[in-house]
Each structure stands twice: as C-alpha cells, then as structure tokens.
Structure 1
Amino acid sequence: MATKITAQDLEIASLKARIKMLEDKDGGVTEPSREDATIKWRSLETGEEASVENSTEKDSNDTEELVNVLTSLDAASILTSRVHVVSVPPAVEVATVSVPTGSGKEKMVESDTPKKKKLQEQIDVQVAREMEEQIAREDKRMNEHIARDAKIARIHAEEELQMLIDGLDKNNETVAKYLQEYEQFAADFSIGERIELINDLVKYQDNYTKVLKYQSQQRKTLSKKQ
C-alpha cells in the first residue's frame, strides 16, 4: 500500500515540475496570454493523455485506498496519542506453594519451611537431651554395679581374713603377741594390707609348727638310741 501512495505522489510531482518548466520557458517580462496558456495546457494534456487515461481507473482505486489508509492512520494516531504509558513496579516475591483443592482450583499458601526447620531443631535438642540422660543412667547403673561387686568382694575378703585369724595358735606367745598388735592397728590398714599381715603370721605359725615337729622327732630318735 505504501508503494502505491509513493507512485502517485511522484506522478503528481512530475506533472507540477513539467508545468513549472513550461512556465519558465514561456515566461519572461510579459505575462502569458490566455491563448498561450490554453495551448500549453492542450500540449500538456496531449502528451499525458495516454498515461492519464490508462491510470484513471487505477488512480481512482488508489485514491480510495489512500483515503481509507489515511483514515485508519488518523484513527490509529488519535488512539495512540491518547494512550499513556504506565510503569508498573515488579511484584514483590513471596514464597508460596500451589495447593490443589477438591474443586479443581489451586490455592496459594505461604511456605512453612521456617516452621519445619524450627521444629526439626527442637526435635534435635530433645533427642540430644534424652541421649545425655540415658548415658547418665547407664553410667550410674555401672557405678552401682561396680560398687556392689566391690562390696561383695570386701565381704568375702573379710570372711577369708577372719578364717585365717581363727586358724592361728593363740597359745603361741609370738603369734599372740603379733596378733594383739595387729588388732590395735587393723583399723589403719586396708583389707588387703590386713590380709597380708595375717598371712605373715600364718606362715610364721606354719614354720614354727614344723620346727616343733622336727624337734620332737629328734628327741624321740635320741631316746631310742639310749
């Protein structure tokens, strides 16, 4: 459509240029007469008659189309001139999720990630506290077990010590003397140290018994020889 308008404009401009050229040639000081003007127009019409007749129908269509185009352009220009550009600020981003509903529509709800994170932290703290309490209970139970075993072992050791003391010969002056000293200082010694002292007395008594037995045998032997 723009090509047709340009061609028509060029054709009109060409006609105007030829008229101007003829006027310049025939111009001069005197004003051209009506007869000369008529001749010029006739010669112009004779030269352009064929092209004008051939393009009459085309020009008519082009003119009508040009009017429509100009009318459309005018209307578009009017509408465009009345449109104001409005700058819309970007929307603020909100963490949302799309939740389907029973009706087929989707409902936008805010994300609960921070709540889940806080809940997970509370769970971790609770689990850590329970583990510490469990470890403390196990340590306490183990210590109680160790203490109970130690108590039982001490009872057995004291029973064994008493059996050793009961087996000593209190008629032996040496044994009786050391046993009396032991009873005075026994509270200052541990159960292990007391057992060790009594064991020494037991060994001494055993050795003393062996010596007495040997001496008795020797006396019997001498008496037989006599």
Structure 2
Amino acid sequence: MRFPTISACLILGTLVGTSLVQAIKFDMPAFPDALKEEKCLSNWGPQNTKVKVKVKTTAAYGQNLQLRIYDNSASSNVFATRKGINEDLLIEFHTHEHAQVFVCFRNLLEEGAKADGRLRTVTFSMDVGASAIDFKEMAAQEKLKPLEAELVKLEKYLEEVDDQMAYMKRRESKLRNTNESTNERIKFLSVLSLVVLGLSGLWQVYYLRRFFQQKKLI
C-alpha cells in the first residue's frame, strides 16, 4: 500500500468535508421549447474519476423533464442525456479529463399543455471521487471487517488528495513555464524596441546633418 505525503494527510479532513455533497432541492418551471430555458449545476471532476448523479422527481402532467451531463473540456465530453424523466434516476460514469462537470435540466411544456406556471420539484446530488463509492457494498463483496473497510475508505480519500496535489503541481509547473516564456518574449521585445529607437535616432541625426549641409547651414 502506498501512503501519500504528510501534507496530503493534513488536508484530508477538508477533502472529506467538501466531498460529502448534500442534496439540492429546487423547482423547475415548465417553458416552451423555443425559450431554451435550463438550470445547470456543476462540480470539478479530476481525470478518470467516478461521478455519481442522483435525481429524484415525480411524474407531472404536461411536463417533459430533460437532463444532460457534459464537461467543459476541449473535447466537450457528453456523459449522459435523458428525456421524459418521471421517476428517480441514478447515473454513474467516469470522467475522461480534468474539467468542470455540468448537469443541466430543462423542463419543457408538452404539446397542448398550457403555460400556467407549472413547476417540477427536483432533488439533485452529485458525488465525485471517493464520495461516489459505496464502501458498504465494497466491504460486503470483499468480506472486509469494519476496521479494514475504514482503512480502505481512508486510503481512497488519501489517494484522491494525492492525485489532486499532483495535478496542482503539474498546473503550477505549466503556468510557471508559461510565465517564464512570456517574460523572455517581453525582454526580447524590449531590447528590440531599444534597438529600433536607437537606429531611428541615428537616422534622424544623419538626415538632419545632411539637410543642413546641403543648405550650407553648417
């Protein structure tokens, strides 16, 4: 078993606290399709990380609740799309890249339904990383003792912290390289500007000297 660094252990409590996402309850007004109204919620998802999305709702006459899950990476990965949601929904998937994962809802008025302020109550939660793992089920399948199950859970959280710290280091290194490259370009442009300014000054002196000589002023 590989143990992460001490600094990773120190911020484990913060990670556990932020990973346990509570459910969000909200009302989705029903709109005609032409209005393109939607409500989006998001969470950060590291690369190759498990994500669990839970949606609780009930059927409602004249309303078509739709869902779309995607990320804002360069690839614009789409993980799931659902239409006509009338019951509880559970979606599990793994991310492909480091990106913000968005879950967007639309509640459309069906054809023939009146726009009379209809609402759809939705309860939503999204767990990312270790918080998306069912450790009770894992312990039952692998026949782990309570202490062993807690150690496995702790290891998963520590690995997640370690992975996030490694990603932050890579990002910091990339930004530092970009900053150094930008500084080098600025230095080059500054030197080039001084050279051009100096040559321009010499040319002006040379031109004025010839002008005055031709006019026999000097």
TM-score, normalised on structure 1?
Answer: 0.27
Q: 1 or 2, which has the higher strand percentage?
A: 2
TM-score, normalised on structure 2?
Answer: 0.28
Higher RCO structure (Cα 8 Å, ≥6 apart): 2
Give the greater-gyration-radius structure (CA).
1
